[in-house]
Amino acid sequence: AQSVTQPDIHITVSEGASLELRCNYSYGATPYLFWYVQSPGQGLQLLLKYFSGDTLVQGIKGFEAEFKRSQSSFNLRKPSVHWSDAAEYFCAVARPAAGNKLTFGGGTRVLVKP
Amino acid sequence: KAGVTQTPRYLIKTRGQQVTLSCSPISGHRSVSWYQQTPGQGLQFLFEYFSETQRNKGNFPGRFSGRQFSNSRSEMNVSTLELGDSALYLCASSQQRADQETQYFGPGTRLLVL
């Protein structure tokens, strides 16, 4: 069975600084990979996704992620964080040909200092 | 287009009762998935429906059930509630049951079991 690990439970970053969130997955082949963001009291919003092709994926809100097959990683980055980026971020995987079932990591809560 | 709507938004029940949660997908979307979010277990997949048929099921006891109607609206039911069922229940919809479809999440129903 696939699994997803987000090693950092909390990250605190200063506004304007760069941000990198780590995600490692365990799966026999290359899964579909996703990053979602959840603001307090809200549902999940898709930031970006990777299915195949270029390993550097651009998403919304200035986020990007890089798929590294050799490291089974899909880390999320943002060059300059805004206060509105404070939220919880989830990495998720889906098995190809398994429909819409997503397996999520435990999440990383991002706090932004002024 | 209106987003995914979930009703009710908040619910308080007592142990042993049953509860029904409702999800209205985005207009034109035919796939609906349900997830449970708790602080201890994180986000876990419950089930997925497409064209009124359950196509995928997570590892939850039989007390958790769902259905989808011809208009794609979905309900999930939890019978004989336990304290551990307290959670945020999220619904997501997508147009088709295809791997590359973006899933759009609703705001969730927060269930508290006393």
Contact criterion met (CB < 8 Å) for B31 and A100: yes
What is the full per-residue pLDDT of chain A (114 aa) written as tens digits?
779 999 999 999 999 999 999 999 998 778 899 999 999 888 899 999 998 888 999 999 999 999 999 999 999 999 999 999 999 999 999 887 777 789 999 999 999 999
Indicate if the pLDDT at residue B2 is higher than 90.
Answer: no
Contact criterion met (CB < 8 Å) for B99 and A51: yes
| Euclidean distance between CA atoms B3 and B12, whole angstroms | 25
Q: What is the pLDDT of residue A98?
A: 73
Indicate if the pLDDT at residue B100 is higher than 70.
Answer: no
Burial B54-66, CB ≥16 within 10 A → b, else e? ebbebebeeebbb
B73: CB partners within 8 A, 6+ apart: B22, B23, B24, B25
Q: Does B56 touch chain A (CB under 8 A)?
A: yes
CA angle, A107 as apex, A102 and A109 as ends, to 5°?
A: 150
| Euclidean distance between CA atoms A43 and A65, whole angstroms | 21
| Euclidean distance between CA atoms B30 and A45, whole angstroms | 19
Task: Tell me the nearest-neighbour CA distance from A9 into chain B, angstroms.
Answer: 12
